[in-house]
A and B are shown apart, each in its own frame.
Chain A
Amino acid sequence: MKVLVPVKRVVDYNVKVRVKSDGTGVDIANVKMSMNPFDEIALEEATRLKEAGKVTEVVAVSAGVAQCQETLRTGMAIGADRGILIETGVELEPLAVAKLLKAVADKEQPQLIILGKQAIDDDSNQVGQMLAALLGWPQATFASKVELGDGKVTVTREVDGGLETVALQLPAIVTTDLRLNEPRYVTLPNIMKAKKKPLDTVKPEELGVDVTPRLKTLKVAEPAKRSAGIKVPDVATLVSKLRTEAKVI
């Protein structure tokens, strides 16, 4: 059984981004880029399923600029068998990504697609659900446990107030939450091996997908700054300030 894992190249999660002074976006020139953390978890899960003998092939796919190749190589160092890059300079919205992934899924015919629950740059949390809808497949979002059975997958999901378990008929979509697993570190030998794994490049036009953005970003601004606070010397002062100044207790 084949598993498809979409991965996204994003600004590294440790970087504190700055808004450009002209308000056109955030400044990501010369900033460290990495694989979206939720996608690492997705790849780790797919690789573990392969190691458990339940999956025969793991295919990583990424959409975006040429440098997404690096993200795919990282994915192959974690455990993907091959990579597919959908190369475009257009800034892709989740709907466009979902359509591109549908085209790849139609061709590759995976039984399971594991995605991260959200990318830490646009914080949309949409692609997995949209892809499930376009393919007409069932979905299990925010997964913290995945059990692959015969013709079905049982997934425990993190929901507000606790956990929920659903059973889906394959083929299906799963999106990962943080606690699904602890992704492995990529080792140097695996990085070297990953360089030899196949990486195909396609264009959105070849897949017949229109990726024109639907939303217009009018501007990007800094969030409202909190006014500087004070340090209080003792608990009594703190309580009196909360009572009389802030009036919150």
Chain B
Amino acid sequence: MVALVIAEHDNASLKGSTLHTVTAAAKCAGEVHVLVAGSNAGAAAAAAAKIAGVTKVLHADAAHFADGLAENISEQILAIAGGYTHILAPATAYGKNILPRVAAKLDVAQISEITKVDAPDTFERPIYAGNAIAYVQSSDKVKVITVRTTGFDAAAEGGSAAVETVAAAADFGKSAFVGREVAKSDRPELTAAKIIVSGGRGMGSADAFKVLEPLADKLNAAMGASRAAVDAGFVPNDWQVGQTGKIVAPSLYIAVGISGAIQHLAGMKDSKVIVAVNKDPEAPIFSVADYGIVGDLFEIVPQLVKELG
């Protein structure tokens, strides 16, 4: 059994999500190959070859792979899919966009956002916003899987896989990349951060989020938000943690002014330690928080910064 991991990358380097996916793949099959489909993506392919546990890197290079269009990347995967028992991609915007196309063309069911591999054909995945865990068994000849990155550790460095160039699949031709608007941030990436400071509707305004900045700086934390805070326009939507936003599992999650709706909990309840700061002692967030403090966030957060020295 050989598993194929679809690398998420920006041509120059691999995204962290790829490393978590390799770990999941290694639990599915004895051998792991990685596909790097990109444009001038030699550096990303070289990085993939250094991941411990990877035995081969397949590198497909063409201009029409530059921006990771689902139509083109899925054609490339289909071109090399023969011989693999498992095809895995991270359950990020990138992987979710591409992989169902592959599954449909192979006429197999896709298993989305697995959090655990119980056997090479049996997987655990959350349903109903994480309120239930389904154990599903696939009898399909190829298991097509997206991997919830927070469910698996990142694979280490130390491999020395061979990089093999494969012929690029043709351009699908019906879709074109127009542009990208990247949200600028000097902070750690939300899904990879060890500590996250998150604000909700209780912050009250966009300006109020500034009160969280010294705390995030002190802890070298990423900043997140609930859907309510995003919908109110306090912060950009790529900060959103929840069922419809990002799924995170840092070692410390500090929820400030967040009530703890089901939708939000689905995105953060696998954090190691959860701290809640809320003025409402009945807020549902306290039922999942390891440490809760009831009070006005505008007093407590600055005190916290001071106390951390």
Name A's B-contacting residues (CB within 8 A).
Answer: 11, 13, 16-17, 19, 26, 93-95, 98, 117-118, 120-134, 137-142, 144, 154, 157-169, 172, 177-179, 213-223, 226-232, 234-236, 238-239, 241-242, 246, 248-249
How many chain B residues sit at the interface, stated as a range, is 35 or more
- Kindly identify which residue among A130, A154, A223 contacts B126, using a CB–CB cutoff of 8 Å: A223
Smallest beta-carbon distance A60→chain B, Å: 22
Given contacts A95-B103, A129-B104, A133-B101, contact A230 B128 (CB under 8 A): no
Q: Which of B41-49, B158-166, B267-275 contacts A (4 or more CB under 8 A)?
A: B267-275
For A121, list chain B residues within 8 Å (CB). 127-128
Q: Which residue of A lies closest to B181 (CB)?
A: A163
Give Cα distance in the complex from A248 to B92, angstroms.
26
Tell whether, in the assembled complex, residue B132 and residue A160 are in contact, meaning their CB atoms are under 8 Å apart: no
Name B's A-contacting residues (CB within 8 A).
Answer: 67, 69-71, 74, 92-94, 96-105, 107-113, 122, 126-140, 172, 174-183, 189, 191, 195, 219, 227, 231, 237-238, 243-244, 246, 251-252, 262-263, 269, 272-275, 281, 286-294, 300, 303-304, 307-308
Q: Which residue of A lies closest to B191 (CB)?
A: A160
Q: Can you pick out 25 interface pairs between chain A and chain B where the beta carbons lie within 8 Å of each other?
A: A17-B131, A19-B132, A94-B100, A94-B110, A124-B112, A130-B110, A133-B104, A133-B105, A138-B174, A139-B71, A164-B177, A164-B180, A165-B179, A166-B176, A166-B177, A166-B178, A214-B138, A214-B139, A216-B139, A220-B132, A221-B133, A235-B307, A246-B290, A246-B291, A248-B252
Given contacts A123-B127, A129-B101, A219-B135, contact A231 B74 (CB under 8 A): no
Main secondary structure of the interface of A (DSSP, over half): mixed
For A169, list chain B residues within 8 Å (CB). 174-175
- Kindly identify which residue among B69, B109, B244, B251 contacts A248, using a CB–CB cutoff of 8 Å: B251
Tell whether, in the assembled complex, residue A126 and residue B100 are in contact, meaning their CB atoms are under 8 Å apart: yes
* Extra 7 A-B pairs, beta carbons < 8 Å, given A217-B135, A229-B289: A124-B110, A132-B101, A133-B101, A140-B175, A141-B97, A214-B140, A235-B300
Q: Which residue of B lies closest to A131 (CB)?
A: B104
For A132, list chain B residues within 8 Å (CB). 71, 101
Smallest beta-carbon distance A142→chain B, Å: 6
